[in-house]
Amino acid sequence: MKVPENVLGLSKRKKARKLPSFGLLLTYRKRVVSALSSHIPNSTLLSDTLLDLQENCFPFFYIIFRTFQSLLLRAYLMGISDEKVVAVIMVGGPTKGTRFRPLSLNIPKPLFPLAGQPMVHHPISACKRIPNLAQIYLVGFYEEREFAMYVSSISTELRVPVRYLREDKPHGSAGGLYNFRDLIMEDNPSHIFLLNCDVCCSFPLPEMLEAHKRYGGMGTILVIKVGCRGDLYFLLSFGLILVSLQVSAESASEFGELVADPVTNELLHYTEKPETFVSDRINCGVYVFTPDIFTAIQGVSSQRKDRANLRRLSSFEALQSATRNPPSDFVRLDQDILTPFAGKKKLYTYETMDFWEQIKTPGKSLKCSGLYLAQFRFTSPNLLASGDGTKSATIIGDVNIHPSAKVHPSAKIGPNVSISANARIGAGVRLISCIILDGVEIMENAVVFHAIVGWKSSIGKWSRVQASLTYGEAVTVEDEVVVTNSIVLPHKTLNVSVQDEILL
C-alpha cells in the first residue's frame, strides 16, 4: 500500500522545526496516530511514516494534518474504489422549531447564524470533508424560496451540489429520507449520511464512515457519553432562564438513549426519550447508512399499511384509529428503525469525544455559537477577529466579525461574540457572549451581555442588554435603558427598563 506523496513531502519539510511543548505534542501525537490508524489499518509503511511524524511534528502540524486528512483519505479511497457518498440534512419546517421563537419568526431556524454562519452551514461544511461526496440534500417542509438563495450560494462556495428537497408534509426523519429515495439514489451512492440540522457538534464524518465500513452493518450512529464531556462551558453567569450548561445524566431522557457493545460497538438497545435511566450514551442525530436503509424503511411502512388495512376491515372504529396512528408514510428513525433493529448486527455506534449540543432554544444557540467559534481556532482561524484597541477594537477570546460590519476601535468585544453583516458597533461599546445580527446598531458606551440582538435592532447610548434575552427584528432600545432577562418580540420600542418580561 502506498502513502500519498504529499503527506511524506509535508513531513519532510516540517522536519527542521523545533518542538514548542512536549506535553501538548504528546496529546496531538496520540490523536494523529489514532485518527490515521482508524483510516488505514494494517499499513506498515504508513506506520513508519507515522513514527517519523511523531518525532518531528509539532502542534500546528496537527491542524494542517487534519486538513490534509480528508485529502489523504480521498487519495487512498480513490485508489481502491470510486464509491460515491451523499449527505442528507433534515432541516424540518415552519411548524417545527417553535421553541426557537422569537428568532424563528423571521427566518427558518436552519438559517439562523451561529458563529457568523447559518446553522445548517456547519453540517454542510463538515460534509465537505467526506471523500467522494457527490451531493448534499436538504430535506424539509419549508417553502423552496426560503432556501433558494442559500442553497445556490453554498453550492458555488463549496463546489459541491446542494439541493433543497421539499416535503409536502412531515414524514418523520426516516420517512423523509425514503420519500426522496429515487433522487438520493440517483448517483448510485454506496453510503448515505443523514444529519439533523439542529445539532451542534464537530461532525467527525470521515472518521464515522471509516468505522462504519469496518463494522460492515447497515448503519452507524454517532453517539456521545453524557455527563463527562469536554469543558464545562458556562454560558450564563447570571444563570436565569436558560440554565443548560451541559447535558447531565439526569436530563439524558430528553434524548435517545442507547446501549452499545463495548467491544464490537454494535447497537444493542435503543430507547427514545426514556422516562427512567437507560444509558449514559445518547444519540447525536448523525448517521451513516448503506442503501439497505431504504429496504428497512419500506419494511416498516408496508407493515404499518397492512396493519391499518387489517383494522379497517375488522373494525368500524378504523377511521378514528387511523387518525390516532401515524400514517404509513410517516416513519421515525428512532422508534421505528433504531429500536427494532438494535441487537440484530445491523446497527453500530461511533462515539465522539468532542462537543455536542442540541439547538432547541435561542439560549442554546448562543452556547452553540460559542462552541463553533472555539472550533474555528483549529479549523478556520482566519474567521476569528483579533485586535488590541489601537487600530481595531480590543478582542477577547473567540470573536467573529463580518467584513461589512463596522466596529469602533474603542469598543471591546468578546469572548464568544459574533457580529453579522452591516452591524455598526459604536465607540466604547462592550459586547460579551452575544450574537449581533444583520444591520444592528449599537450606540456609544452600550453594554450587551449574553444576548442575541435581532436584525436591524438599535441599542441606545449607555443602554445595557443582559442575561439571556433574545430579540426579534427591529427592536429599539432607547438610551440608558436596561433590559434584563427578557424576550422582546419584533418592532418594539423600549424606553423604560424591563426585567424578567416577555414583551409581545
Partner 1 sequence: MDSSIYRQIGTCITMKALILVGGFGTRLRPLTLSIPKPLVEFANKPMILHQIEALKAVGVTEVVLAINYQPEVMLNFLKEFEAKLGITISCSQETEPLGTAGPLALARDKLIDGSGEPFFVLNSDVISEYPFKEMIEFHKAHGGEVSIVVTKVDEPSKYGVVVMEETTGKVDKFVEKPKLFVGNKINAGIYLLNPSVLDRIALRPTSIEKEIFPKIAAEKKLYAIVLSGFWMDIGQPKDYIAGLRLYLDSLRKKSSTKLATGHHIVGNVLVHESAKIGEGCLIGPDVVVGPGCVVEAGVRLSRCTVMRGVRIKKHACISSSIIGWHSTVGQWARVENMTILGEDVHVCDEIYSNGGVILPHKEIKSSILKPEIVM
Candidate residues 274, 397, 415, 428; the one interacting with partner 1 per rule CB under 8 A: 428
Candidate residues 190, 430, 474, 503; the one interacting with partner 1 per rule CB under 8 A: 430
Q: Half-sphere exposure of 282 toward its Cβ, with a 13 Å CA cutoff?
A: 26
Q: Are 427 and 446 a contacting pair, CB within 8 Å?
A: no
C-beta closer to partner 1: residue 283 or 466: 466
CB atoms within 10 A of CB 81: 9
Q: Are 122 and 195 a contacting pair, CB within 8 Å?
A: no
C-beta closer to partner 1: residue 282 or 431: 431
Instruction: Examine residue 482 and tell whether it contacts partner 1 (CB under 8 A).
Output: yes
Instruction: Examine residue 58 and tell whether it contacts partner 1 (CB under 8 A).
Output: no
Q: Which residues of 41-80 are buried (b: 16+ CB within 10 A; e: fewer)?
A: eebeebeebbeebeeebbeebbeebbebbbebbbbbbeee
Instruction: Examine residue 480 and tell whether it contacts partner 1 (CB under 8 A).
Output: yes
Candidate residues 265, 420, 445, 486; the one interacting with partner 1 per rule CB under 8 A: 445
Instruction: Examine residue 424 and tell whether it contacts partner 1 (CB under 8 A).
Output: no
Candidate residues 173, 244, 283, 466; the one interacting with partner 1 per rule CB under 8 A: 466
Rounded alpha-carbon distances, angstroms, from residue 320 to 156, 309, 311, 315, 317: 49, 13, 11, 10, 5
From 77-85, 252-260, 469-477, 479-487, give the range in contact with partner 1 by CB under 8 A. Answer: 479-487
Question: What is the Cα–Cα distance from 315 to 328, expressed in whole angstroms?
Answer: 18
Candidate residues 59, 74, 462, 501; the one interacting with partner 1 per rule CB under 8 A: 462
Residues in a beta bridge with 451: 434, 469
Going residue by residue from 98 to 137, which x/- string records binding to partner 1, judged by CB under 8 A?
----------------------------------------
Residue in 101, 100, 19 with CA at minimum distance from that of residue 56: 19
CB atoms within 10 A of CB 408: 15
First and final CA of the chain: distance in angstroms?
Answer: 65
Give the shortest CB-232-to-partner 1 separation in angstroms: 18
From 214-222, 373-381, 382-390, 480-488, give the range in contact with partner 1 by CB under 8 A. Answer: 480-488
Determine the distance from the C-alpha atom of residue 444 to the mean position of all C-alpha atoms in its chain, rounded to a whole number.
Answer: 35
Going residue by residue from 131 to 170, which x/- string records binding to partner 1, judged by CB under 8 A?
----------------------------------------
Q: Which residues of 244-253 are buried (b: 16+ CB within 10 A; e: fewer)?
A: bebbeeeebb
Contacts of 317 (CB under 8 A, 6+ apart): none
Q: What is the CA radius of gyration of the chain?
A: 24
From 46-54, 332-340, 459-467, 470-478, give the range in contact with partner 1 by CB under 8 A. Answer: 459-467
Instruction: Examine residue 501 and tell whether it contacts partner 1 (CB under 8 A).
Output: no
From 116-124, 125-133, 382-390, 458-466, give the range in contact with partner 1 by CB under 8 A. Answer: 458-466
Give the shortest CB-391-to-partner 1 separation in angstroms: 18
Question: What is the Cα–Cα distance from 425 to 339, expressed in whole angstroms?
Answer: 51
From 52-60, 93-101, 250-258, 423-431, give the range in contact with partner 1 by CB under 8 A. Answer: 423-431
C-beta closer to partner 1: residue 181 or 424: 424
* CA angle 94–95–99, rounded 5-degree value: 95
Instruction: Examine residue 396 and tell whether it contacts partner 1 (CB under 8 A).
Output: no
Instruction: Examine residue 447 and tell whether it contacts partner 1 (CB under 8 A).
Output: yes
> 43 is written with which cell numbers?
499499513
Instruction: Examine residue 484 and tell whether it contacts partner 1 (CB under 8 A).
Output: yes
Sign, CA torsion 377/383/388/389: negative
Amino acid letter, 378: F
By rule CB under 8 A, what count of residues binds partner 1?
A: 23
Residues in a beta bridge with 258: 270, 281
Residues in a beta bridge with 477: 459, 494
Question: What is the Cα–Cα distance from 363 to 369, expressed in whole angstroms?
Answer: 10
What are the two backbone dihedrals, phi and then psi, of residue 271, each rounded to the nearest 5 degrees? Answer: -135, 125
Give the shortest CB-399-to-partner 1 separation in angstroms: 16
Pairing of strands 199-201, 356-358: antiparallel
Instruction: Examine residue 427 and tell whether it contacts partner 1 (CB under 8 A).
Output: yes
Instruction: Examine residue 459 and tell whether it contacts partner 1 (CB under 8 A).
Output: no
C-beta closer to partner 1: residue 136 or 434: 434
Total length of the chain: 504
Instruction: Examine residue 495 and tell whether it contacts partner 1 (CB under 8 A).
Output: no
Going residue by residue from 213 to 252, which x/- string records binding to partner 1, judged by CB under 8 A?
------------------------xx--------------
What are the two backbone dihedrals, phi and then psi, of residue 480, each rounded to the nearest 5 degrees? Answer: 65, 10
Instruction: Examine residue 461 and tell whether it contacts partner 1 (CB under 8 A).
Output: yes
Question: What is the Cα–Cα distance from 287 to 220, expressed in whole angstroms?
Answer: 6
From 92-100, 193-201, 269-277, 424-432, give the range in contact with partner 1 by CB under 8 A. Answer: 424-432
C-beta closer to partner 1: residue 123 or 387: 387
C-beta closer to partner 1: residue 74 or 461: 461
Instruction: Examine residue 468 and tell whether it contacts partner 1 (CB under 8 A).
Output: no
Candidate residues 192, 371, 432, 451; the one interacting with partner 1 per rule CB under 8 A: 432
Contacts with partner 1 by CB under 8 A lie at: 237-238, 410, 412, 427-430, 432, 444-445, 447, 449, 461-462, 464, 466-467, 480, 482, 484-485, 499
